[in-house]
A and B are shown apart, each in its own frame.
Chain A
Amino acid sequence: MEQFSNSASPLRLITTDVAPAVELARTVEALLVVATQPLSREELAAAAQVDADLIGEALDILTDRYREDASGIVLELVAGGWAFRASSAASEACARLFEKPVEKGLSQAALETLAIVAYLGPITRPEIARIRGVNVDGVIAGLAERGLIAESGREGDYGAIRYRTTPLFERIFGLESLDSLPRVDDVGADVTEIRARLEAVAEKRPA
Protein backbone atom coordinates (compact mmCIF):
# COMPACT_ATOMS: atom_id res chain seq x y z
CA MET A 1 0.00 0.00 0.00
CA GLU A 2 2.95 2.30 -0.29
CA GLN A 3 2.22 5.49 -2.09
CA PHE A 4 5.05 6.21 -4.49
CA SER A 5 2.95 8.84 -6.15
CA ASN A 6 3.47 11.34 -3.35
CA SER A 7 5.43 13.92 -5.25
CA ALA A 8 5.92 16.22 -2.30
CA SER A 9 8.61 13.93 -0.87
CA PRO A 10 10.05 11.96 -3.75
CA LEU A 11 13.03 10.65 -1.76
CA ARG A 12 11.03 8.87 0.92
CA LEU A 13 10.48 5.26 0.07
CA ILE A 14 8.83 4.33 3.39
CA THR A 15 5.81 6.36 4.23
CA THR A 16 4.70 7.29 7.74
CA ASP A 17 1.10 7.32 6.64
CA VAL A 18 0.22 3.93 8.17
CA ALA A 19 -3.25 2.67 9.01
CA PRO A 20 -4.45 3.95 12.42
CA ALA A 21 -4.76 0.38 13.82
CA VAL A 22 -1.12 -0.37 13.02
CA GLU A 23 -0.09 2.90 14.60
CA LEU A 24 -2.12 2.07 17.73
CA ALA A 25 -0.65 -1.44 17.78
CA ARG A 26 2.79 0.07 18.12
CA THR A 27 1.67 2.12 21.10
CA VAL A 28 0.01 -0.87 22.75
CA GLU A 29 3.09 -2.97 22.09
CA ALA A 30 5.21 -0.33 23.80
CA LEU A 31 2.91 -0.18 26.80
CA LEU A 32 2.99 -3.96 27.18
CA VAL A 33 6.75 -4.16 27.06
CA VAL A 34 7.05 -1.60 29.84
CA ALA A 35 4.40 -3.22 32.07
CA THR A 36 5.20 -5.83 34.71
CA GLN A 37 1.53 -6.70 35.17
CA PRO A 38 -1.22 -7.58 32.71
CA LEU A 39 -2.92 -4.49 31.30
CA SER A 40 -6.64 -4.50 30.70
CA ARG A 41 -8.24 -3.19 27.52
CA GLU A 42 -9.43 -0.16 29.53
CA GLU A 43 -5.97 0.57 30.95
CA LEU A 44 -4.44 0.37 27.46
CA ALA A 45 -7.14 2.66 26.06
CA ALA A 46 -6.66 5.20 28.85
CA ALA A 47 -2.88 5.30 28.34
CA ALA A 48 -3.15 5.52 24.55
CA GLN A 49 -6.00 8.02 24.84
CA VAL A 50 -8.23 6.17 22.41
CA ASP A 51 -11.59 4.48 22.62
CA ALA A 52 -11.52 0.99 24.19
CA ASP A 53 -13.13 -0.48 21.05
CA LEU A 54 -10.12 0.52 18.96
CA ILE A 55 -7.75 -1.39 21.26
CA GLY A 56 -9.30 -4.68 20.11
CA GLU A 57 -8.09 -4.26 16.57
CA ALA A 58 -4.58 -3.36 17.75
CA LEU A 59 -4.54 -6.43 20.00
CA ASP A 60 -5.59 -8.64 17.09
CA ILE A 61 -2.57 -7.48 15.14
CA LEU A 62 -0.30 -8.10 18.14
CA THR A 63 -1.67 -11.55 19.10
CA ASP A 64 -1.06 -12.66 15.54
CA ARG A 65 2.48 -11.36 15.58
CA TYR A 66 3.36 -12.59 19.10
CA ARG A 67 2.30 -16.23 19.12
CA GLU A 68 4.03 -19.53 19.89
CA ASP A 69 6.10 -20.84 16.97
CA ALA A 70 6.24 -17.36 15.43
CA SER A 71 8.06 -15.37 18.07
CA GLY A 72 10.15 -15.66 21.22
CA ILE A 73 7.63 -13.37 22.87
CA VAL A 74 4.02 -14.50 23.27
CA LEU A 75 1.09 -12.22 24.04
CA GLU A 76 -1.53 -13.79 26.30
CA LEU A 77 -4.77 -12.81 27.99
CA VAL A 78 -4.28 -13.58 31.68
CA ALA A 79 -5.50 -12.25 35.04
CA GLY A 80 -7.96 -9.89 33.37
CA GLY A 81 -5.43 -8.27 31.07
CA TRP A 82 -2.85 -8.63 28.35
CA ALA A 83 0.78 -9.47 29.06
CA PHE A 84 3.90 -10.69 27.31
CA ARG A 85 5.61 -13.90 28.31
CA ALA A 86 8.48 -15.93 26.92
CA SER A 87 7.62 -18.64 24.43
CA SER A 88 7.80 -22.16 25.82
CA ALA A 89 10.53 -22.95 23.25
CA ALA A 90 12.82 -20.67 25.23
CA SER A 91 11.93 -22.15 28.62
CA GLU A 92 15.22 -24.00 29.19
CA ALA A 93 17.28 -20.91 28.55
CA CYS A 94 14.97 -18.88 30.77
CA ALA A 95 15.25 -21.48 33.54
CA ARG A 96 19.04 -21.18 33.48
CA LEU A 97 18.76 -17.48 34.19
CA PHE A 98 15.62 -17.18 36.33
CA GLU A 99 13.79 -18.96 39.13
CA LYS A 100 10.04 -19.10 39.66
CA PRO A 101 9.91 -18.27 43.37
CA VAL A 102 6.16 -17.74 43.68
CA GLU A 103 5.04 -21.23 42.77
CA LYS A 104 8.19 -23.09 43.80
CA GLY A 105 7.54 -25.79 46.41
CA LEU A 106 3.82 -25.24 46.92
CA SER A 107 2.69 -28.06 49.22
CA GLN A 108 -0.46 -30.11 48.87
CA ALA A 109 -1.89 -28.30 51.92
CA ALA A 110 -1.10 -24.96 50.28
CA LEU A 111 -2.79 -25.97 47.01
CA GLU A 112 -5.90 -27.24 48.79
CA THR A 113 -6.15 -24.01 50.77
CA LEU A 114 -5.54 -21.98 47.63
CA ALA A 115 -8.27 -23.93 45.83
CA ILE A 116 -10.75 -23.22 48.64
CA VAL A 117 -9.91 -19.49 48.61
CA ALA A 118 -10.14 -19.36 44.81
CA TYR A 119 -13.53 -21.10 44.66
CA LEU A 120 -15.17 -19.82 47.85
CA GLY A 121 -13.35 -16.54 48.55
CA PRO A 122 -13.59 -14.09 50.13
CA ILE A 123 -13.50 -16.60 52.96
CA THR A 124 -12.30 -16.52 56.57
CA ARG A 125 -9.65 -18.69 58.16
CA PRO A 126 -12.10 -20.57 60.43
CA GLU A 127 -14.25 -21.43 57.42
CA ILE A 128 -11.25 -22.83 55.54
CA ALA A 129 -10.16 -24.75 58.63
CA ARG A 130 -13.64 -26.29 58.89
CA ILE A 131 -13.42 -27.61 55.33
CA ARG A 132 -9.84 -28.86 55.59
CA GLY A 133 -10.34 -30.18 59.11
CA VAL A 134 -7.03 -28.75 60.34
CA ASN A 135 -5.61 -25.43 61.44
CA VAL A 136 -4.61 -23.37 58.39
CA ASP A 137 -2.92 -20.36 60.03
CA GLY A 138 0.57 -21.25 58.83
CA VAL A 139 -0.56 -22.11 55.31
CA ILE A 140 -2.52 -18.85 55.01
CA ALA A 141 0.50 -16.85 56.15
CA GLY A 142 2.69 -18.63 53.58
CA LEU A 143 0.26 -18.03 50.70
CA ALA A 144 -0.11 -14.36 51.68
CA GLU A 145 3.68 -14.00 51.74
CA ARG A 146 3.95 -15.46 48.25
CA GLY A 147 1.35 -12.91 47.18
CA LEU A 148 -1.11 -15.55 45.98
CA ILE A 149 -3.82 -14.49 48.43
CA ALA A 150 -4.56 -11.19 50.19
CA GLU A 151 -6.84 -9.86 52.87
CA SER A 152 -10.20 -8.69 51.64
CA GLY A 153 -12.17 -7.00 54.40
CA ARG A 154 -13.79 -8.58 57.41
CA GLU A 155 -16.85 -10.60 58.17
CA GLY A 156 -19.22 -7.97 59.55
CA ASP A 157 -17.65 -4.95 61.21
CA TYR A 158 -15.33 -6.65 63.65
CA GLY A 159 -15.34 -10.27 62.46
CA ALA A 160 -12.62 -12.54 61.11
CA ILE A 161 -10.45 -11.37 58.21
CA ARG A 162 -11.53 -12.63 54.81
CA TYR A 163 -9.08 -13.75 52.12
CA ARG A 164 -9.28 -13.80 48.33
CA THR A 165 -6.86 -14.77 45.59
CA THR A 166 -4.77 -12.04 43.92
CA PRO A 167 -4.25 -11.17 40.23
CA LEU A 168 -0.82 -12.78 40.69
CA PHE A 169 -2.58 -16.08 41.44
CA GLU A 170 -4.48 -15.84 38.17
CA ARG A 171 -1.28 -15.03 36.33
CA ILE A 172 0.75 -17.87 37.81
CA PHE A 173 -2.02 -20.36 37.06
CA GLY A 174 -2.74 -18.84 33.65
CA LEU A 175 -6.37 -17.90 34.31
CA GLU A 176 -8.12 -15.13 32.43
CA SER A 177 -10.20 -14.60 35.56
CA LEU A 178 -11.60 -16.68 38.44
CA ASP A 179 -14.53 -17.52 36.16
CA SER A 180 -12.21 -19.68 34.10
CA LEU A 181 -11.73 -22.10 36.99
CA PRO A 182 -13.28 -25.40 35.94
CA ARG A 183 -16.44 -26.54 37.63
CA VAL A 184 -15.49 -29.01 40.35
CA ASP A 185 -17.48 -32.14 39.63
CA ASP A 186 -20.72 -32.31 41.45
CA VAL A 187 -20.02 -34.78 44.20
CA GLY A 188 -23.66 -35.57 44.96
CA ALA A 189 -22.97 -39.21 44.24
CA ASP A 190 -19.97 -39.09 46.53
CA VAL A 191 -22.01 -38.05 49.56
CA THR A 192 -24.06 -41.23 49.25
CA GLU A 193 -20.90 -43.23 48.77
CA ILE A 194 -19.24 -41.60 51.80
CA ARG A 195 -22.37 -42.24 53.89
CA ALA A 196 -22.34 -45.88 52.91
CA ARG A 197 -18.70 -46.19 53.91
CA LEU A 198 -19.33 -44.43 57.24
CA GLU A 199 -22.18 -46.77 58.01
CA ALA A 200 -20.05 -49.80 57.18
CA VAL A 201 -17.42 -48.61 59.65
CA ALA A 202 -20.07 -47.93 62.30
CA GLU A 203 -21.47 -51.44 62.00
CA LYS A 204 -18.07 -53.02 62.52
CA ARG A 205 -17.52 -51.07 65.71
CA PRO A 206 -18.36 -53.10 68.84
CA ALA A 207 -21.50 -51.74 70.45
Chain B
Amino acid sequence: MPVAVRELELDLDAFEGPFDLLLSLVLREELPLKEVDLAEIVIAFVEHLAGKGELDLDACGEFLVLISALLELKARAMFPEEEAELAELEPEEAAEELARRLAAYRRAKEAAGWLRGRLDERRDLFFRLGPAPGAPKPERRLAPQPPLKLAEALRRLAIEPPAPSTSHMALRFPPTSRFLDRWRSLLRRRTRLDFDQEVEGLSRVEVAVAFLALLELRKQNEIAIAQSAPFAPIRISRADAERSHLWSSSATPPARSA
Protein backbone atom coordinates (compact mmCIF):
# COMPACT_ATOMS: atom_id res chain seq x y z
CA MET B 1 0.00 0.00 0.00
CA PRO B 2 1.79 3.14 -1.15
CA VAL B 3 1.98 5.97 1.31
CA ALA B 4 0.60 9.17 -0.20
CA VAL B 5 3.22 11.83 -0.73
CA ARG B 6 1.32 14.24 1.46
CA GLU B 7 1.66 11.89 4.43
CA LEU B 8 5.43 11.79 4.11
CA GLU B 9 6.83 12.40 7.60
CA LEU B 10 9.40 15.18 7.73
CA ASP B 11 11.93 16.02 10.40
CA LEU B 12 13.51 19.34 9.39
CA ASP B 13 15.13 22.16 11.34
CA ALA B 14 12.20 24.45 10.73
CA PHE B 15 9.41 21.92 10.72
CA GLU B 16 8.46 18.50 11.96
CA GLY B 17 5.37 16.67 10.73
CA PRO B 18 3.66 15.44 7.60
CA PHE B 19 4.36 17.03 4.22
CA ASP B 20 0.81 18.22 3.65
CA LEU B 21 0.83 20.18 6.91
CA LEU B 22 4.03 21.86 5.75
CA LEU B 23 2.32 22.73 2.48
CA SER B 24 -0.70 24.26 4.14
CA LEU B 25 1.45 26.24 6.59
CA VAL B 26 3.51 27.60 3.71
CA LEU B 27 0.43 28.49 1.69
CA ARG B 28 -1.11 30.27 4.68
CA GLU B 29 2.22 32.10 5.04
CA GLU B 30 2.56 30.88 8.62
CA LEU B 31 5.87 29.26 7.82
CA PRO B 32 8.42 31.32 5.88
CA LEU B 33 9.61 29.18 3.01
CA LYS B 34 13.04 30.77 3.19
CA GLU B 35 13.67 28.82 6.40
CA VAL B 36 12.63 25.47 4.99
CA ASP B 37 15.41 23.32 3.61
CA LEU B 38 13.89 21.87 0.45
CA ALA B 39 16.87 19.59 -0.22
CA GLU B 40 16.15 17.82 3.07
CA ILE B 41 12.61 17.14 1.89
CA VAL B 42 14.01 15.63 -1.30
CA ILE B 43 16.35 13.44 0.73
CA ALA B 44 13.52 12.34 2.99
CA PHE B 45 11.43 11.41 -0.01
CA VAL B 46 14.24 9.54 -1.74
CA GLU B 47 14.95 7.58 1.42
CA HIS B 48 11.29 6.87 1.86
CA LEU B 49 11.28 5.44 -1.68
CA ALA B 50 14.41 3.44 -0.98
CA GLY B 51 12.84 2.02 2.17
CA LYS B 52 9.86 0.76 0.23
CA GLY B 53 12.02 -0.94 -2.36
CA GLU B 54 9.54 -0.35 -5.16
CA LEU B 55 9.03 2.60 -7.44
CA ASP B 56 5.65 4.27 -7.02
CA LEU B 57 5.36 6.38 -10.19
CA ASP B 58 2.20 8.16 -9.06
CA ALA B 59 3.87 9.21 -5.83
CA CYS B 60 6.98 10.36 -7.71
CA GLY B 61 4.88 12.42 -10.08
CA GLU B 62 2.93 14.06 -7.30
CA PHE B 63 6.09 14.73 -5.37
CA LEU B 64 7.77 16.35 -8.37
CA VAL B 65 4.82 18.66 -8.90
CA LEU B 66 4.69 19.69 -5.25
CA ILE B 67 8.41 20.14 -4.75
CA SER B 68 8.81 22.13 -7.97
CA ALA B 69 5.96 24.43 -6.89
CA LEU B 70 7.70 24.92 -3.54
CA LEU B 71 11.01 25.61 -5.29
CA GLU B 72 9.38 28.21 -7.49
CA LEU B 73 7.72 29.88 -4.50
CA LYS B 74 10.98 29.90 -2.63
CA ALA B 75 12.90 31.30 -5.59
CA ARG B 76 10.34 34.07 -5.97
CA ALA B 77 10.53 34.89 -2.29
CA MET B 78 14.31 35.20 -2.49
CA PHE B 79 14.38 37.70 -5.34
CA PRO B 80 12.86 41.17 -5.38
CA GLU B 81 9.48 41.24 -7.09
CA GLU B 82 9.12 42.61 -10.58
CA GLU B 83 6.25 44.77 -9.38
CA ALA B 84 8.69 46.66 -7.21
CA GLU B 85 10.28 48.10 -10.33
CA LEU B 86 7.02 49.75 -11.35
CA ALA B 87 6.56 51.12 -7.88
CA GLU B 88 10.02 52.60 -8.15
CA LEU B 89 8.85 55.06 -10.81
CA GLU B 90 9.51 58.60 -9.76
CA PRO B 91 6.32 60.18 -8.35
CA GLU B 92 6.44 62.66 -11.22
CA GLU B 93 6.60 59.87 -13.81
CA ALA B 94 3.93 57.86 -12.03
CA ALA B 95 1.55 60.82 -12.08
CA GLU B 96 2.30 61.37 -15.76
CA GLU B 97 1.62 57.70 -16.53
CA LEU B 98 -1.60 57.72 -14.54
CA ALA B 99 -2.82 60.91 -16.24
CA ARG B 100 -1.98 59.40 -19.62
CA ARG B 101 -4.01 56.27 -18.85
CA LEU B 102 -6.95 58.26 -17.56
CA ALA B 103 -6.90 60.36 -20.73
CA ALA B 104 -6.88 57.24 -22.90
CA TYR B 105 -9.81 55.87 -20.94
CA ARG B 106 -11.68 59.15 -21.26
CA ARG B 107 -11.21 59.00 -25.02
CA ALA B 108 -12.63 55.44 -25.05
CA LYS B 109 -15.60 56.63 -23.03
CA GLU B 110 -16.23 59.49 -25.40
CA ALA B 111 -16.08 57.16 -28.41
CA ALA B 112 -18.48 54.77 -26.63
CA GLY B 113 -20.87 57.70 -26.14
CA TRP B 114 -20.76 58.43 -29.85
CA LEU B 115 -21.46 54.77 -30.67
CA ARG B 116 -24.40 54.81 -28.26
CA GLY B 117 -25.82 57.87 -30.03
CA ARG B 118 -25.35 56.16 -33.37
CA LEU B 119 -27.32 53.14 -32.11
CA ASP B 120 -30.14 55.46 -31.00
CA GLU B 121 -30.21 57.16 -34.41
CA ARG B 122 -30.45 53.81 -36.15
CA ARG B 123 -32.88 52.23 -33.72
CA ASP B 124 -35.69 52.59 -36.24
CA LEU B 125 -33.78 51.13 -39.17
CA PHE B 126 -34.28 47.51 -40.07
CA PHE B 127 -32.39 45.47 -42.62
CA ARG B 128 -31.92 41.91 -43.64
CA LEU B 129 -29.09 40.11 -41.89
CA GLY B 130 -27.69 36.71 -42.54
CA PRO B 131 -24.53 34.83 -43.07
CA ALA B 132 -22.82 35.59 -46.35
CA PRO B 133 -23.97 32.88 -48.72
CA GLY B 134 -20.76 32.97 -50.73
CA ALA B 135 -20.31 31.78 -54.26
CA PRO B 136 -21.31 28.18 -55.07
CA LYS B 137 -18.46 25.78 -54.34
CA PRO B 138 -17.52 22.94 -56.63
CA GLU B 139 -18.74 19.72 -55.11
CA ARG B 140 -16.07 17.33 -53.87
CA ARG B 141 -16.84 13.71 -54.35
CA LEU B 142 -15.12 10.79 -52.65
CA ALA B 143 -14.38 7.74 -54.70
CA PRO B 144 -16.80 4.91 -53.82
CA GLN B 145 -15.60 3.13 -50.67
CA PRO B 146 -16.27 -0.59 -50.15
CA PRO B 147 -17.72 -1.05 -46.63
CA LEU B 148 -15.35 -3.93 -45.88
CA LYS B 149 -12.34 -1.71 -46.46
CA LEU B 150 -13.78 0.79 -43.99
CA ALA B 151 -14.34 -1.96 -41.42
CA GLU B 152 -10.74 -3.09 -41.90
CA ALA B 153 -9.47 0.46 -41.32
CA LEU B 154 -11.60 0.76 -38.17
CA ARG B 155 -10.44 -2.61 -36.86
CA ARG B 156 -6.85 -1.47 -37.01
CA LEU B 157 -7.77 1.61 -34.99
CA ALA B 158 -9.68 -0.42 -32.42
CA ILE B 159 -6.72 -2.59 -31.43
CA GLU B 160 -5.36 -1.52 -28.09
CA PRO B 161 -1.76 -0.39 -28.39
CA PRO B 162 0.80 -2.41 -26.42
CA ALA B 163 1.35 -1.13 -22.91
CA PRO B 164 4.57 0.89 -22.74
CA SER B 165 7.34 -0.90 -20.94
CA THR B 166 8.50 0.67 -17.71
CA SER B 167 11.22 -1.88 -17.07
CA HIS B 168 13.92 0.73 -17.56
CA MET B 169 12.36 2.73 -14.73
CA ALA B 170 12.56 0.00 -12.10
CA LEU B 171 15.14 1.91 -10.16
CA ARG B 172 16.63 1.26 -6.80
CA PHE B 173 17.14 4.20 -4.56
CA PRO B 174 20.14 3.65 -2.37
CA PRO B 175 19.82 5.57 0.90
CA THR B 176 21.75 8.84 1.09
CA SER B 177 23.26 7.74 4.37
CA ARG B 178 25.18 5.00 2.60
CA PHE B 179 26.95 7.58 0.45
CA LEU B 180 27.47 9.91 3.38
CA ASP B 181 29.39 7.13 5.08
CA ARG B 182 31.26 6.30 1.92
CA TRP B 183 32.45 9.87 1.29
CA ARG B 184 33.45 10.25 4.92
CA SER B 185 35.50 7.09 4.94
CA LEU B 186 37.17 8.02 1.67
CA LEU B 187 38.07 11.44 3.01
CA ARG B 188 39.45 9.91 6.17
CA ARG B 189 42.06 8.24 4.02
CA ARG B 190 42.64 10.92 1.37
CA THR B 191 42.35 14.70 1.50
CA ARG B 192 41.42 15.20 -2.15
CA LEU B 193 39.02 13.32 -4.36
CA ASP B 194 37.77 13.58 -7.88
CA PHE B 195 34.03 13.06 -8.06
CA ASP B 196 33.96 11.40 -11.46
CA GLN B 197 36.67 8.93 -10.53
CA GLU B 198 34.92 7.91 -7.34
CA VAL B 199 31.53 7.34 -8.91
CA GLU B 200 32.83 5.54 -11.95
CA GLY B 201 30.89 2.40 -12.65
CA LEU B 202 27.88 3.43 -10.53
CA SER B 203 24.40 3.62 -12.01
CA ARG B 204 22.90 6.95 -12.91
CA VAL B 205 20.64 6.94 -9.85
CA GLU B 206 23.53 6.05 -7.59
CA VAL B 207 25.56 8.92 -9.02
CA ALA B 208 22.65 11.27 -8.32
CA VAL B 209 22.31 10.12 -4.72
CA ALA B 210 26.09 10.26 -4.28
CA PHE B 211 26.00 13.86 -5.45
CA LEU B 212 23.12 14.65 -3.11
CA ALA B 213 25.18 13.23 -0.23
CA LEU B 214 28.08 15.41 -1.33
CA LEU B 215 25.90 18.53 -1.17
CA GLU B 216 24.77 17.50 2.28
CA LEU B 217 28.40 17.23 3.43
CA ARG B 218 29.18 20.61 1.92
CA LYS B 219 26.27 22.15 3.76
CA GLN B 220 27.54 20.79 7.02
CA ASN B 221 30.92 22.34 6.20
CA GLU B 222 32.71 19.06 6.24
CA ILE B 223 34.10 19.40 2.75
CA ALA B 224 34.90 21.97 0.09
CA ILE B 225 33.82 21.48 -3.51
CA ALA B 226 35.46 23.16 -6.48
CA GLN B 227 34.77 23.12 -10.18
CA SER B 228 36.75 25.38 -12.49
CA ALA B 229 34.09 25.54 -15.22
CA PRO B 230 30.74 23.98 -16.05
CA PHE B 231 31.20 20.23 -16.70
CA ALA B 232 34.82 20.41 -15.54
CA PRO B 233 35.89 17.74 -13.02
CA ILE B 234 34.44 18.25 -9.54
CA ARG B 235 37.19 18.32 -6.92
CA ILE B 236 36.37 17.44 -3.36
CA SER B 237 38.59 18.24 -0.43
CA ARG B 238 38.29 18.29 3.35
CA ALA B 239 37.04 21.59 4.68
CA ASP B 240 39.93 21.80 7.12
CA ALA B 241 42.02 19.28 8.90
CA GLU B 242 41.39 20.76 12.34
CA ARG B 243 37.72 19.97 12.31
CA SER B 244 38.10 16.73 10.51
CA HIS B 245 38.07 14.79 13.75
CA LEU B 246 34.45 15.84 14.15
CA TRP B 247 33.47 13.32 11.58
CA SER B 248 36.16 10.81 12.25
CA SER B 249 34.84 8.05 14.40
CA SER B 250 38.29 6.94 15.34
CA ALA B 251 39.74 8.39 18.52
CA THR B 252 42.93 9.56 16.87
CA PRO B 253 42.64 12.50 14.53
CA PRO B 254 43.63 11.51 11.00
CA ALA B 255 47.12 12.41 10.00
CA ARG B 256 47.54 15.33 7.67
CA SER B 257 48.84 14.38 4.34
CA ALA B 258 52.29 15.67 3.81
Contact = CB atoms under 8 A, between A and B. Distances in A.
A and B pair up: yes
Label chain B's interface by main secondary structure: helix
B121 interface: yes
Contact of B108 (A86, A94, A112, A191): A112
A12 interface: no
B110 A184 contact: yes
B110 A185 contact: yes
Given A85-B126, A195-B95, A130 B101 contact: yes
Interface of B: 95-96, 98-112, 114-116, 118-119, 121-133
Nearest to B104: A131
A49 interface: no
Given A131-B105, A195-B95, A199-B95, A111 B125 contact: no
B126 A36 contact: no
A122 B34 CA distance: 45
Label chain A's interface by main secondary structure: helix
Interface string A66-100: 00000000000000000111101011001100101
Given A36-B131, A130-B101, A133-B105, A94 B116 contact: no
Contacts of A187: 103, 106-107, 110
Contacts, number: 109
Contacts of B133: 36
B103 A114 contact: no
A174 interface: yes
B111 A115 contact: yes
Contacts of A83: 127
A199 to B, nearest CB: 7
A174 B122 contact: yes
A114 B115 contact: yes
A65 interface: no
B125 A115 contact: no
B128 A36 contact: yes
